[in-house]
Amino acid sequence: MIAGHQRFNPLQRSLHWLMAVCILAMLFIGVGMVSTVMPKYLTLVSIHKPLGIAILVLALIRLAVRLRYGAPSLPADLPEPMKLAAYLSHYALYALMIGMPLIGWAMLSAAAYPVVLFDGVLLPPILPQSDSLHTLLWDAHFYLAFAFFALILLHVAAALFHALVRRDGVFDAMSPVPIQKEVAPAE
Amino acid sequence: MAQSPRSPARSMFGSLVLIAVVIGGGAAAFAYTAGWFSPQRLTPDRMVDAFTPPGGKPPLGHRRNHAKGICFTGVFEANGAGSALSHAQVFTRGQYPALGRFNLGTANPNAPDATVRVRGMGLRISTPDGQEWRTAMINAPVFPVSTPQAFYHLLLASGNKDPNAMKTFATAHPEIAAFGAWARNAPWTGSYAEERFNSLNSFIFTDNSGAEHTVRWSLLPAAQVVPISQDDLAKRGPNFLEQEITERVHGGPLHWTMVVTVANPGDPTADPSRAWPEDRRTVNVGTLTVQQIEPERNGPCRDINFDPTVLPSGIRTSDDPFPAARSSAYAKSYDRRTAETKYYPRTAAEAQP
């Protein structure tokens, strides 16, 4: 991790907030579409697929940007368990951002559905037809979606805790605009 | 940082409450969207469950409806006339591989043939551009009801032990009369080869100029229709239709003409329980040839979901609400049965007693 800067750079912050909107929309569309037989089912499915691929592409870009530019260090006085939770939850978020679209794509492939992104634009299958793989991937996509949402709630709770209770600059590092005056380095 | 006028303890308490409200609200919104607070919402799960009568066992490993059937392969030969209506490659003159399945409209994979009024055909036509046209048609000229909700209530009524349940349903849904008249009066046949299969749902074709045409389609059999009484069909055996079609195709390929009917403005495009007037423009777009019967248990249809919303560019869904409902329910049926293969293994030898 590259230390010495207080905030994520503008590209990183833009990617974060753009993806936040996309992923939240994606999760709500996902649970909504599988709970209805109304015509909106088809509309939601037709958004879910290209949006999922968009998230995959953005997540790969974001991973590259993160590896290139790093992240601000966590406050030195943050308790070790919270630091560990922060590291692990971010690994899990990256894994889900990249993994969920791939699982969805693979799941459709294993069911021999054409993977239609837009009218007439198809993705190639990434797996052969397979009952057992389809079932495995379907279960993974379903349960990981709830895990993903739970993790996002935890992420939001932690962000607000940093912003409102600890006021330690962690939220400010990713906030769209600075919310605190840059605190001059102490000592 | 400016000093808060409130005590730090109260400020922290307020912050924690705010965090709890945000997280709780987010979780509640998610649960609401998922339908957890809406027991009345018609979900694909509830629709698919309704095919199994109360106390009954679902046909594990099988399609939840149209569970009995037999697979075929063949070719769709487009004559080029459909290109006037849709720019889909499937209508360009040429031959395209077809995969399909003759089936009976029952949730019981072992139902005797003569006990099932509705016969169907699932069909998938693949084109070189990588696109597919999937459709699932039935021999009835109209669908029993107007809306997916009504269909759900029809399933509940037909599974209800109350002898008046169906009568009550028919009073509330008078549109079922047309289907009922067909079921009572139309001749039965002794072969899948003699059936006409109808899309019933309407779809929108887009032509090369971008103009849209709302259509339904049908497959008209080339074989002569030989009426047979239900009793005589029963005497031929519980699985006569599969044996008959296998032998018939063995003797030579079978043909159906695909006819597309174009709606006039004002026709009931959203209601498959209502036929369109007889004088509507029809276009003969090509011929389906069934060349080979394939096994059901381990054949190429087994793991294909004949989802009527898998459509090539040039065909899309219309204001008819059924294709969306069918797609959601077919997907649920597919997800369930592909997770149940141990109850219906690919080879009979692996089957449990």
Residues spanned by the domain of B67:
44-350
- Are A74 and A45 in contact by the 8 Å Cβ rule? The answer is no
A131/B303 Cβ within 8 A:
yes
CATH of region A10-174, choose from 1.20.950.20, 1.10.3720.10, 1.10.10.10, 3.30.1330.10: 1.20.950.20
Rounded to two decimals, the ipTM of the complex is 0.93
User: For B202-237, what is each residue's pLDDT tens digit?
Assistant: 999 999 999 999 999 999 999 999 999 999 999 999
Size of interface A-B (CB pairs under 8 A): 114
Hey, what's the torsion of the CAs at B344, B346, B350, B352, to 10 degrees?
10
Question: Which of B42, B131, B324 lies closest to A114 in CB terms?
Answer: B131
- Determine contact, residues A11/A65, Cβ cutoff 8 Å: yes
The yes-or-no verdict on residue B4 having pLDDT over 80 is no
Residue A178: pLDDT band (50, 70, 90) is: confident
Task: Report whether pLDDT(B353) > 50.
Answer: no
Helices (H), B56-189: 148-158, 165-172, 176-185
Residue B131, by phi and psi: left (phi above 0), alpha (psi -120 to 50) or beta? beta
Residue B11 located in a structural domain:
no
Q: Could you tell me if residue B28 is inside a domain?
A: no
Query: Which of B90, B335, B341, B350 is the mutation pick for testing A, counting most A CBs within 10 A?
Result: B335
In a domain, residue B9? The reply is no
Sheet strands (E) in B222-325? 227-228, 254-262, 282-294, 315-317
The beta-carbon neighbor of A37 closest among B47, B304, B335 is B47
- Answer whether residue B5 shows pLDDT above 50: yes
The mean predicted confidence, pLDDT, of chain A is 93
E strands in B193-341: 197-198, 203-206, 212-221, 227-228, 254-262, 282-294, 315-317
The reply to whether B62 belongs to the active site is: no
Average pLDDT over residues B84-113: 98
Tokens representing B226? Answer: 């030989």
pLDDT tens per residue across span B117-167: 999 999 999 999 999 999 999 999 999 999 999 999 999 999 999 999 999
Q: Is residue B191 part of a domain?
A: yes
Pick from A21, A28, A37 the residue to mutate for testing the B interface (most B CBs within 10 Å): A37
pLDDT in tens, A58-92: 999 999 999 999 999 999 999 999 999 999 999 99
Do the domain assignments include residue B82? Answer: yes
Q: How confident is the model at residue B56 (pLDDT cuts 50, 70, 90)?
A: confident
Buried residues in B229-247 as b, exposed as e (16+ CB within 10 A): eeeebeeeeeebbbebbee
Taking the CA of residue B317 and the nearest CA in chain A, the distance in Å comes to: 9
Name, in order, each residue with C-beta under 8 angstroms of A80's C-beta and a sequence gap of 6 or more: none
Quick one: pLDDT band at residue A2, thresholds 50, 70, 90? very low
B201 to chain A nearest CA, in Å? 13
CA dihedral A31, A112, B270, B39 (to 10 degrees): -30
| Token pair belonging to A113 | 């559905």
- Judged by phi (left if over 0) then psi (alpha if -120 to 50, else beta), residue B237 lies in left
User: What is the number of domains present in chain B?
Assistant: 1
The reply to whether B58 falls in a domain is yes
Distance CA B333, CA B47 (A): 10
Structural domain includes residue B10:
no
| Partner-chain contact A157 B29, CB within 8 Å | no
pLDDT at A3 over 70: no
Residues 6+ apart with CB under 8 A from A38: B42, B148, B321, B324, B325
**Contact by Cβ (8 Å): A105, A126:** yes
On whether residue B19 sits in a domain, the answer given is no
- Least Cα distance to B106 among B149, B163, B155 occurs for B155
Cβ(B196)–Cβ(B133) below 8 Å? no
* Residues in A touching B269 (Cβ below 8 Å): none
Nearest to B19 among A41, A129, A160 (CB): A160
Cα–Cα distance for residue pair A97/B274, rounded to 1 Å = 47
H/E stretch holding A54 reads helix A40-69
The C-alpha atoms of residue B288 and residue B311 are separated, in whole angstroms, by: 17
- Contact (Cβ atoms closer than 8 angstroms) between residue B214 and residue B204: yes
Per-residue model confidence (pLDDT) at position A1: 40
Burial class (CB in 10 A: 0-12, 13-18, 19+), B45: middle
CA distances to B88, B131, B211, B314 from B92, rounded to whole Å, are 7, 13, 17, 12
B304 with A149: Cβ contact below 8 A: no
Interchain pair A37, B18: CB under 8 A: no
Which residues in B lie closer than 8 A to residue A186 (C-beta atoms)? none
> Residue A5: pLDDT band by 50, 70, 90 thresholds?
low
pLDDT for residue A120? 84
CATH of the domain at B193: 2.40.180.10
